[in-house]
Amino acid sequence: MAAIIHLVRHGHHALLGRTLCGRMNGVTLDDVGCAEMARCAANLRPRPNLIQSSPQRRCMQSACILAAHFGLPVEIVPALDELDYGEWTGRSFEELGRDPQWSRWNRERGSARPPDGESMRSLQNRIVNHLEQLRNDRSAGTAIAVSHAEPIRAALLHYARMRLDDFLAIEIDPSSISTLSAGRGGYRITGVNQRVPA
C-alpha cells in the first residue's frame, strides 16, 4: 500500500496570481518555477517509488524535474487534473472580481460551481477516490502526486474532515509539499503546505 503520499503543487509560472489558468493550454513553468522544483526534489523524503502528474503542462514539467532527480518515470493521471473552471478559464482575476458568480463561488464552494465547469464536490470525489486507490496499491510505497492548489486543497479538506466552504483555511503555495501518511484507519495529514528553502 502507499504508506506516504506527497501532494506537490506545480512550480511558479508567469500567469500565477494574474490569470485563472485552469486547464488552459501552454501554461509552462518559468525559471523561478524550475528552480523551486529542483529544490523541492532535493527535500523530498523518503525516496519515492512512484511519481504521478496532472495532465497539465506545468505539472508535467514539475513532475519531470522530480523524476529526473529520482530516476523514475512519470505517470499521467487525469484524476490529478486541475478543476475545470468552464467559462472562467483564462480570465483575469481582476475581471472575475466584478462577477457576482465568482464571489458566490468563493463563499460557497460546497454548493456553487463555475459556469459550465466542475463543482468542488466533484473534484474532491475524483481526487480522494484516486488517493484511496493508491492507498490500497501494494506496489506504491511512497508516492508523489503533482497537482494543483484546488485538488490538493480538496483532498486535505476531506482528510481533515472540514467543509468545502472552509477552503480558504488551507493555503497551498507553488512547489509546496503536503503529506498524507497511511494507517489502519486511512490517511492522516502529516504536513501541509511545506515550502522548500530558498
Q: What is the CA radius of gyration of the chain?
A: 16
Q: Which CATH number fits domain 4-194: 3.40.50.1240, 1.10.357.10, 2.10.109.10, 3.40.605.10?
A: 3.40.50.1240
**Per-residue model confidence as pLDDT tens digits over 133-144:** 998 877 768 999
User: For residue 10, what pLDDT is reported?
Assistant: 98
Q: Kindly list the domain boundaries of the chain, sorted by start residue.
A: 4-194
The number of angstroms, rounded, from the C-alpha of 19 to the middle of its chain's C-alpha atoms is: 17
**Per-residue model confidence as pLDDT tens digits over 75-85:** 999 999 999 99
**Runs of H (alpha helix) within 27-147:** 31-43, 57-70, 93-96, 100-107, 120-135
**Per-residue model confidence as pLDDT tens digits over 42-91:** 989 889 999 999 999 999 999 999 999 999 999 999 999 999 999 999 99
- The answer to whether the CB of 132 falls within 8 A of the CB of 145 is no
Query: 197 pLDDT exceeds 90?
Result: no
Q: For the chain, what's the residue count?
A: 198
Give the sign of the dihedral formed by CA 15, CA 193, CA 36, CA 23.
Answer: negative
Burial of 36 (0-12, 13-18, 19+ CB in 10 A): buried
C-alpha cell at 91: 480570465
